[in-house]
Structure 1
Amino acid sequence: MENMDLNLLRALDVLLDEASVTGAARRLGLSPSAMSRTLTRLRSATGDPLLVRAGRHLVPTPYGTDIRDRVHVLTRDVQAVLRPQHREVDLKALDRTFVLRANEGFLNVVAAPLVTAIMKEAPRVRLRFAPKPDKDALPLREGRIDLEIGVRGVSAPEIRSRLLFRDMFVGVARIGHPLFLDGDISVARYAACHHVVTSRRGTFRGPVDDALEQLGYQRTVSVIVPGFPDALEIVRQSDLVTHVPRSCLTNLSNDPAEILRLRPFQLPVKTPEIVVSAIWHPRLDADPAHRWLRETVYTVCRKVLAH
C-alpha cells in the first residue's frame, strides 16, 4: 500500500467519465499537461493504455470500458470512508433532492404522509419517486437511488437495511362476491375463482400458486397487472379476486365508500411473511441528511401502518 496513490483513483474515474484529458483537467482543477502526466502514471500502474486516440477524440480501451463503473463506485466508497460527515444538518436550509424507489402499493399508502412530514421539517428538500421494476442493487451502488423501500434482495451483501414493518398477503374481492355467500372460504372455492395478480415481471405464478399446489389445487389467473392499485380497481368492478399486502388496504379505512365496495379476507393458504425494509448503500450511512431521511421514513411508516 505504500506505493499506492489514491488520488490516481479519482483521476481515473474522471478520465474515464470525460474521455478527455482537457475535460478531466478542468474538472480536477489541473493543467492539461499535469493531467496528461497523470494518465501516463495510470497507464503504467494498470499496464493498459486506458484511453487511446480515435481521430480527434479519445476512446476507452476494452479494459477501460470494463472498469469504468467499478472505478466510479469504488471512488465514491473511498470518499465516503475518508471524508465522513459528522456535522449536524440544518433541515430548514437543506437544499437537496432525494431519489426514493418503491412500488405503487407503498406509494399509494405512505407517499402523501411522508411528503407532508418532510416538507414540514425541510421545506427546500425535493423528493423524486422512481419506479421499482426489480430488486437490482446497481442503482443503489451507482448512486442513482438514495433510498429503496421494499423486500431486500440477496445479490448485494454490502447494502444496508432497516426493518420498517412486517406485512402479509390478504385476499380481496368486491362486496357481494359469491365467494362470501357460503360461510368460510375454503381452498377449493378460492382456487375455483378467476384471479387478477400483480407482477412486475409479468409472471403468472407466485407464492399463492406454490401454496395451492402443495395442497393439490391450481387456480386460474385471468389478468396480470404491474401494481396492486390496478388489481384492486379491477376487483372493485368485477368478479375476479386478488391478493395484496395488507398495508395496501390502509387507506380504505379512511373512505367509507371504498369499504362498501371492497372486502378483504384471510387467504385459505399460508404465504411467506413480507419483510419491508429501508435499503441504502453504505456510502450514505454517515451522511446526516440521509440519516434524517431514513429516520423520517421509519417514523412515518410506523405511524401510518401501525396495526
Structure 2
Amino acid sequence: MHSMNISNFDLNLLRVFDAMMAERNVTRAAQRVFLSQPAVSHALARLRKEIGDPLFVRAGREMIPTAKATELGPAVHTMLDQLALVVGKTRFDPRTSAAVFRIGIVDVREYLLAPLFAKLMREEGSRVRLLVHGFDDANFQAQLASGALDIAVSMPQPPAPGIHSRKLSTQGKCLASQSHCGLTASGDQRTGYWKKRELEERWSMRRRTFSPYRPFSQIATCYL
C-alpha cells in the first residue's frame, strides 16, 4: 500500500484534481482554476506521485478517471467546499465576491435568461462571474453532483439526493386554436394557408443563424 506524507502536502493539487474530475480535460481544467495547461499537467504529475496512482487515463480527447480517482472525487470536492466555508468566514456578498458559478442552461433558454443575469449583475455591481454551459437533460444531475455545474435550469424532474430544486416558472404552449384561420378554412384553403405561412417563415429566416450555445460572455457584453 502506498503511504502518503501529508505534512507538506500542497492543497492546490486537490483544486487541480477537482477541476479535472469535473472537466475531464486538461485545457478546460486549467481555465477553471486559472492556471496554464503546463502548470496543470505538472500538478497532476506531482499528485500522481503523492497518491501512487495514474488518476486519469487518456481516451481520445478525454481524460478518464481511474477507480482510485473516482473513489477520491466526491470526498475531495466536499472537503474543498468545507474548507472554503471555513476560510471565508464572512457572509457571501455578491458585490465583493469574485466567485465563479457554472450554470447549465439548455438551448434557447440561454438567450432568455443570460441577459437577465447580466442586467442583475450590472445593477448590483457584482464581481461574480457566471459561466453558462449547455448540457444534456439526461445527465445534468450527475454534473451537479460532481461539481461540473453549480446550477442547472432544466425541465421539471425529481431531484437526486443532495440536489435542491425550485420551480422558477410555469409556461403554456398553444399548438392549435380556433383563432387560427387555417383550422376553420376548407381543405384547399387550409392547405394554401399553411403553405403560405411556411414560405413566409422561411423567407423571414433566410438570413438568420441560430447558435444556442453562444458563449455567455458575448451575450453579456451587449448588456454590460
TM-score normalised by L of structure 1: 0.38
Whose relative contact order is higher, 1 or 2, with alpha carbons under 8 Å and at least 6 apart? 1
Give the structure with higher Rg (CA).
Answer: 1
Higher strand share: 1
